[in-house]
Structure 1
Amino acid sequence: MKHFLSFLLMIFLLSCNNDGVIRNPYLQEVGFRFDMNLNLPLYSKLTNIGSVVFIQNAGVGLKGVYVIQSGIDQYRAFEASCPNHVPNDCSTTQLNGIEVTCGCEDYTYNLFTGSLTNAPDDGERRYDMLEYRVVRSGNIVLVSN
């Protein structure tokens, strides 16, 4: 019985695979940490659902990070570089309300979900925005990767 259980455990462990996340081949995932104090005027609008702040500080993401309050005390953060090609001169997305648009091919992404909203129907693989971790502690919102 002991050998049978060991065999089952081994089969179970060998059958496990990764979480199914498909990594974006165009965007390098860089490590960073950035704190935002919601008491400061620069970030205070993040106290309203649907409000977006663009962080363009050096070392925060590849081309900056968009942070949105997506629900009550819920925040999401996304890379500002278009996820469907290597970063270049036209790949920094431009904010338009709760969406951003890539100037290279006019792809539009929703900041509540990070989803590409106007993908062409050509059978090619397209990527959603690269999302970063966000944690709120009191009036501090921490964005990191």
Structure 2
Amino acid sequence: MKKIWFFIALTAVLFSCSDNNRSNNNPYIPNYSVNAYLDMNLPSYNNLRYVSNPVYVANYGAKGIIVMNTGPNTYTAFDAACPNQELTSCTAMTIDGIYAVCSCDKAQYNLFTGLGGKEYPMKQYRVEVSGSVVHVYN
């Protein structure tokens, strides 16, 4: 019985140390509500059917969102705002292959991880897939 409690406690500690909280407490990007449904049957989102083909979606989050298929039924979604710049100083990040590039400092962020070697990673959103619909939310 002690082993089970130890395992539960260890699991709770490991999951509470996630860096996801750091990316979502970015002082430069406000916490806008995001609730997007992207139907991959539509031409605008058809590239999400294929691995490593990111798609920019305007009108969500601070500067839009970037969604990418990272593997079988696995997706990432990040805010397109530059995570290490004032919100008003830069336009939305652009997509360059599997990277998002900030218009202000030209920093590149990996769309698999959201990391870019700067203080703050990209602001991440949750993703669920049901059939051909990708749901991005927070």
If the length of structure 1 is used for normalisation, what is the TM-score? Answer: 0.77
Aligned twin of 2:33: 31
Offset at residue 89 of structure 1 (A): 4.0
**Could you say which structure has the larger radius of gyration?**
1
1:1-145 pair list within 5 angstroms: 19-20=16-17, 21-22=21-22, 23-56=25-58, 58=59, 60-117=60-117, 119=118, 126-145=119-138
* Structure 2: distance between partners of 1:89 and 1:127: 16
- CA-based RMSD of the aligned residues comes to 1.9
User: Normalising to structure 2: TM-score of the pair?
Assistant: 0.80
Secondary structure of residue in 1 paired with 2:88? coil
Question: Residue type matched to 2:100 in 1?
Answer: V
Report the counterpart of residue 5 of structure 2 in structure 1. none
SS at 2:16 equivalent: coil
Deviation at 1:28, TM superposition (A): 0.8
- The alignment partner of 1:43 has SS state of helix
Gaps of 5+ in 2: 1-8
Aligned length: 121
Distance in 1 between the 2:75 and 2:45 partners? 13
Q: Which has the higher helix share?
A: 2
Deviation digits for residues 35-75 of structure 1 (CA, Å, limit 9, x no counterpart): 0111111111111000111001x3x1110000000011101
Identity of aligned residues (%): 35
